[in-house]
Amino acid sequence: LALTLRPTERVVEQARVIKDDGEVATLREAARRLTPVALSAFEMVRAGTTERAVAARIDAAIREAGFERPSFDTIVASGPNAALPHYRAGDRVLERGDVVVLDFGGVLDGYCSDLTRTVAVAPPSAEAHRVHQAVREAQQAAIDAVRPGIATTDVDRAARRVLDAHGLGEAFGHGTGHGLGLDVHEEPRVTRPRADVAPVPLEPGMVFTIEPGAYLPGWGGVRIEDDVLVTARGCEVLTSVPYALIPD
């Protein structure tokens, strides 16, 4: 028996990109369980509370929903802090008119979910409405672009084009999304064309986030994120949480 060793690249990563039926069922259930978490977060967004108190409530709700743990450190970024895409949560006290980015997820049977909603402490400014509407429109354009055969870079472009049209192209400084699975950030990367990331044609069974944002230093920011599954004809949005800037 003669064995020959051949160098390979990214074999495990490639196998993980397409989820099997069992994995899809788990990811769908994980996404579904984020709804009550989001609703309890919305209730906490009031003038006078701190980012950290909202984050603590989210983390408790993640466990109440049956998740093993958060998928990553919960983000509650209020007012000017919302302009920092990688901010986590601090001692800032929420004020009237703040825009607040809530970004969290839970791990269920080893699989990660990831959701962002941006809500306001009433009354939101006209600028808050404008930026929120633009990001939501960009997100929907990207969701509508998802179907087998379309490249990851085309999905990114769909979002970017909308933000460009709203004069917010420069404010969108990160990729549109990332694969979800055993890791919260895995393949495929949904980005603009980059030298280090080859565009990937979408295939049924891929699960990734769609999370455009617009960040205006000193003012704040808006990000909206859902998890999608590529299906034979388009996509299924796995997360289902209202988008309103002022939740009911």
Chain residues in the site for Mn ion (CB under 5 A): 103, 114, 116, 209, 225
Q: Cβ of residue 191: shortest distance to ligand GLY, in angstroms?
A: 13
Q: Is residue 34 near ligand GLY by the rule CB under 6 A?
A: no
Which of these, 195, 204, 197, lies nearest to 176 by C-alpha position?
Answer: 197
* Burial (0-12, 13-18, 19+ Cβ within 10 Å), 10: exposed
Q: Is 85 left (phi over 0), alpha (psi -120 to 50) or beta?
A: alpha
Which of these, 198, 235, 196, 230, lies nearest to 18 by C-alpha position?
Answer: 230
Task: Between 22 and 110, name the residue whose CB sits nearer to ligand GLY.
Answer: 110
- Choosing from 98, 114, 187, 226, the residue that interacts with ligand GLY (CB under 6 A) is 114
d(CA 162, CA 131): 12
Pick what 75 binds: Mn ion, ligand GLY, none; C-beta below 5 to 8 Å, kind-dependent.
ligand GLY
Q: For residues 122-141, which are near ligand GLY according to CB under 6 A? A: none
Q: Cβ of residue 160: shortest distance to ligand GLY, in angstroms?
A: 17
Pick what 156 binds: Mn ion, ligand GLY, none; C-beta below 5 to 8 Å, kind-dependent.
none
Q: Is residue 75 near ligand GLY by the rule CB under 6 A?
A: yes
Q: Cβ of residue 211: shortest distance to ligand GLY, in angstroms?
A: 6
Q: Is 51 left (phi over 0), alpha (psi -120 to 50) or beta?
A: alpha
